[in-house]
Amino acid sequence: MPPRDKALACVVAVIWGVNFVAAQIGMETFPPLLLAALRFALVALPAVLFIKPPGNGIKTVVAAGATMGLLQFALLYTAMNFGMPAGLASLVLQVQTVFTVVIAAVILRERPTTYQVVGIAIGLAGMALVGWKHMAEAPALPFLMTIGAAASWALGNVVVRRRPPRDGFSLVVWSALVPPIPLFGLSVLLEGWPAITQAMTHMSLRSVLGLAFITYLASMAGYGIWNLLLSRHAASSVAPWSMLVPPLGMVAAFFYSGEQPGVLGVIGGAIVIVGVLMALGVGKGWTDRPSGRPAIEPPGL
């Protein structure tokens, strides 16, 4: 991955790290599923009237919208509605890295190197440290639903990688046509008309700004760049970047609400960074260097 693409991946990780704080602000007014429905509706409209289709087929567009949009956020936001803490959700969701690498290996035959696998494992161990105290208290059903959301995201990654779009931003806009109506239906079913009416008639500036962030930065910019990177590089080279999101989210939460990460959080965040760097091949040359001892020539005949 060239330096420019690495810089883009870092930008996405920063945006998504702040994204969960922005979502929390949005949820001060909007119920989670309604927030998700509004998010995708605003991504799609009116942009879809001016942006050309991504050129990778209607089936791919619908599949990307169904997996990375509808399924991922229906499961994630419903889990949050059922009691999954936002910080822990941001952490557990990054297990999509493992799902992406495994699914890409099976379907696309993109085999990760042993060094990458070790790096991903180290990154997951670091994430476990970051969220250790929360995981012990997490309710089972929302936790499993968040795992399902991670699997849905991973499927979407492979869908995009299998048939890359002409333009990553275009795919974000057109695939956003899929989630709004089903998400709004789930909102009516699970959150109820009174909550929806209350939210729409009592919007605060803070919640609108939170909605704007997750719509225009996290979705349009973040996923636009993410899809672009998936069209250029193997899934196993792109997916590990998302493991930087929990440590960055931890920093964002500290500045937003003064939430202290604790010693385990700091250590876990450092381990995650090491794991991501390894998964991206940094330092691999050191393990491949010769020992420095002269080679022993076989005796001549």
Mean pLDDT of the chain: 83
Tens of pLDDT, residues 56-83: 899 999 999 999 999 999 998 888 778 7
| pLDDT of 251 | 77
Mean pLDDT of 272-296: 59
Counting every residue written for the chain, the total comes to 301
Q: Of 15-19, 105-109, 167-171, 192-196, which one has max mean pLDDT?
A: 192-196
| pLDDT of 146 | 84
Q: In this predicted structure, which of 118-122, 128-132, 134-138 has the lowest mean pLDDT?
A: 134-138
Mean pLDDT of 51-55: 92
Mean pLDDT of 228-249: 83
Band of pLDDT at residue 298, cut at 50, 70 and 90: very low
Is the pLDDT at 205 greater than 80? The verdict is yes
Is the pLDDT at 104 greater than 70? The verdict is yes
Q: Of 45-49, 110-114, 253-257, which one has max mean pLDDT?
A: 45-49
| pLDDT of 79 | 84
Sign of torsion over alpha carbons 114, 118, 123, 127: positive
Higher-confidence residue of 266 and 212: namely 212
CB count within 10 Å of CB 115 equals 17
Mean pLDDT of 230-259: 78
| pLDDT of 195 | 94
Q: Which amino acid is at 190?
A: L
Higher-confidence residue of 129 and 206: namely 206
DSSP symbols for 6-57: HHHHHHHHHHHHHHHHHHHHHTTTS-HHHHHHHHHHHHHTTGGGTSPP-SS-
Q: Confirm whether pTM is higher than 0.85.
A: no
Higher-confidence residue of 190 and 216: namely 216
DSSP symbols for the chain: --HHHHHHHHHHHHHHHHHHHHHHHHTTTS-HHHHHHHHHHHHHTTGGGTSPP-SS-HHHHHHHIIIIIIIHHHHHHHHHHTT--HHHHHHHGGGHHHHHHHHHHHHT--PPPHHHHHHHHHHHHHHHHHTHHHHTT--HHHHHHHHHHHHHHHHHHHHHHHS--S-HHHHHHHHTTSSHHHHHHHHHHHT-HHHHHHHHHS--HHHHHHHHIIIIIIIIIIIHHHHHHHHHS-HHHHGGGGGGHHHHHHHHHHHHH----HHHHHHHHHHHHHHHHHHTTTTHHHHHS--SSPP-PPPP-
Q: How many CA atoms lie within 13 A of 110 on its CB side?
A: 21
Band of pLDDT at residue 297, cut at 50, 70 and 90: very low
| pLDDT of 278 | 73
| pLDDT of 132 | 67
Is the pLDDT at 292 greater than 60? The verdict is no
In angstroms, rounded to a whole number, what is the distance separating the alpha carbons of residues 270 and 111? 27
